[in-house]
Amino acid sequence: MREDSYIPFSTPDIAEAEVALVSEVLRSGWITTGPRVKEFEAAFRAYLDADVEAVAVNSATAGLHLALEALGIGPGDEVIVPVHTFTATAAVIAHVGARPVFADVSAETLVLDAEHVHAVLTGRTRAIMPVHFAGRACDMPALAALAAAHDLVIVEDAAHALPTTCNGALIGTLDSAATVFSFYANKTITTGEGGMLVTGRRLLAERARQMRLHGISRDVFDRYHARNSSWYYEVVAAGFKYNMTDVAAAIGIGQLQRAWSMQKRRAEIAQRYSEAFADLEVRCPADPAPGDVHSWHLYCLRLPAGGPVSRDEFVAAMQERGIGCSVHYIPLHLHPHWRDTYALDATNYPNSTRAFAELVSLPIYSRMTATAVDRVIASVRAILKSAQRPAHDGRSALPGARDGAVPAVA
């Protein structure tokens, strides 16, 4: 297999514009939090076109942590989190000393629904952290109604949700206490590492701005460049080191301008996949609600248990054909830390557990060529078709079988 014919699971889409913006920052004499971060925050507010504050941070994990801290969530409080997510969603709850309470997700969409929140709600519940899994919005009106009825706050993990809409409204513009986006290397827009905390609550934003930079009352750039430039500053809390650099913000400014065009390309790929797999023994991901936007951060195919080929065999067969796949997610209740610390039992999370056994994420990113998309489709079809064929000669007809293999295309 030639190196250049490998189709990676994910690769960032970095344009020359971003390279130029970064070079400019590097030559400017100011490389950490400064004018580019302010500009990126302003661009993010413009993207959302809503009366919200945007606080740039160095990861979504940092943003989620800052949101819970600013909301005063801590020891004695419970925060409900879906098991079908990345570990960071739950880790930040532990970081503030609160208790993560784990909920199952809907069988079809793999997101937290009101019924799953209801099942684990207690008198100590303070917050809900829905995750817009793969880039498909949760049913936010139902979650918001439940939150209002029980005096809970919502902190949206929107790591996959740029751009995603819910009933026509962009994620980030809803009435949640905070919404946090990720710009990690494989996310829908990237700054290498980075995140954005969005909130309509001024005081929350102010606290997050302080706590992202050591609990200092003014940010570093203002201290050196404000009109009344001064060496004086005050530490008002034991803060964190969660600020975004101007180098990262420069990448983000360029990326954000292309967020919609990159989504359009991913949506095209998703549509091609779903059409091409319609006759196979697989389940394609749920489409967004009518009229809504799915970011298509992930395209998660399901290979039903008891079907012709297992998920693990499938991933190995794709790898053999030079195509990288992934799995989203190994549910939190199956990771030793969460399982053992909170005595989690897989039978309480049947939808996520079943999904985990079946799920595989296919490559889907804006830089994928038409040839690469064709090759993924042909490979998925070949692997499933060859597995369906009865094995006349007693040899396994499973994925590694070379007949039906698609030749590598440069």
Q: Which residue's CB is nearer to ligand PLP, number 58 or number 210?
A: 58
As measured in angstroms, the least distance from the Cβ of 375 to ligand PLP is 26
Residues near ligand PLP, by CB under 6 A: 59-61, 85-86, 88-89, 131, 157, 159-160, 182, 184, 195
Contacts of 224 (CB under 8 A, 6+ apart): none
* Residue that is written with structure tokens 């990720």 in the block: 182
Angle at 297 between CA 16 and CA 9, to 5 degrees: 75
> Is residue 187 flagged as an active site residue?
yes
As measured in angstroms, the least distance from the Cβ of 85 to ligand PLP is 5
Q: Which residue's CB is nearer to ligand PLP, number 47 or number 133?
A: 133
Q: Which residue's CB is nearer to ligand PLP, number 111 or number 377?
A: 111
Contacts of 268 (CB under 8 A, 6+ apart): none
Residue among 38, 187, 241, 264 flagged as catalytic: 187
Is residue 250 packed enough to be buried (19+ CB in 10 Å), middle (13-18) or exposed (0-12)?
A: buried
Task: Give, to the nearest 10 degrees, the angle between helix 246-257 and helix 16-28.
Answer: 150
Contacts of 92 (CB under 8 A, 6+ apart): 61, 64, 65, 68
Question: Got the DSSP string for 203-262?
Answer: HHHHHHHHHTBTTBSS-HHHHHHSTT--S---B-S---B-BPPHHHHHHHHHHHHTHHHH
As measured in angstroms, the least distance from the Cβ of 102 to ligand PLP is 14
Task: In whole angstroms, give the CA distance from residue 377 to residue 309.
Answer: 16
As measured in angstroms, the least distance from the Cβ of 64 to ligand PLP is 7
Q: What is the largest CA-CA distance in the chain?
A: 84
Q: Which residue's CB is nearer to ligand PLP, number 195 or number 308?
A: 195
Q: Which residue's CB is nearer to ligand PLP, number 126 or number 132?
A: 132
As measured in angstroms, the least distance from the Cβ of 118 to ligand PLP is 22
Helix (H, G, I), strand (E, B) or coil at 80: strand
The answer to whether the Cα torsion of 72, 77, 80, 85 is positive or negative is positive
Task: Give, to the nearest 10 degrees, the angle between helix 370-388 and helix 259-276.
Answer: 30
DSSP 8-class letter at 88:
H
As measured in angstroms, the least distance from the Cβ of 328 to ligand PLP is 8
Q: Which residue's CB is nearer to ligand PLP, number 88 or number 205?
A: 88
Residues involved in catalysis: 187
